[in-house]
Amino acid sequence: MAIERTLSIIKPDAVAKNVIGQIYSRFEGAGLKVVAARMAHLSRAEAEGFYAVHKARPFFKDLVDFMISGPVMIQVLEGENAIAKNRELMGATNPKEAAAGTIRADFAESIDANAVHGSDGADTAAVEIAYFFRSSQVFAR
Binding site for ATP, by residue number, is 11, 59, 87, 93, 104, 114
- Of residues 85, 90, 117, 133, which has the active-site annotation? 117
Crossing angle of helices 82-90/20-29, nearest 10°? Answer: 130
Helices (H) and strands (E) in the chain, counts: 7, 4
Positions at the binding site: 11, 59, 87, 93, 104, 114
Q: How many binding residues for ligand UDP (CB under 6 A)?
A: 8
**Contact between 103 and ligand UDP per CB under 6 A:** no
Instruction: Clarify whether 117 is annotated catalytic.
Output: yes
Calculated CA dihedral for residues 31, 36, 42, 47, nearest 10 degrees:
-60
Q: Which residue is nearest to ligand UDP (CB)?
A: 93
* Residue span binding ligand UDP (CB under 6 A) among the ranges 23-31, 32-40, 107-115, 132-140: 107-115
Closest CA to 66 of 30, 109, 33: 109
Cα-to-chain-centroid distance, residue 116: 4
User: Looking at beta carbons only, is 61 or 137 nearer to ligand UDP?
Assistant: 61
Q: Give me the amino acid identity at 104.
A: R
- Cα 70-47-95 angle, rounded to 5 deg: 65
Rounded CA gap, 136 and 124, in Å? 20
**Contact between 112 and ligand UDP per CB under 6 A:** yes
Q: 75, 86, 102, 114: which one contacts ligand UDP (CB under 6 A)?
A: 114
- Smallest gap from residue 92 Cβ to ligand UDP (A): 7
Residues classed as catalytic: 117
Binding site for ligand UDP (CB under 6 A): 59, 63, 93, 111-112, 114, 117, 120
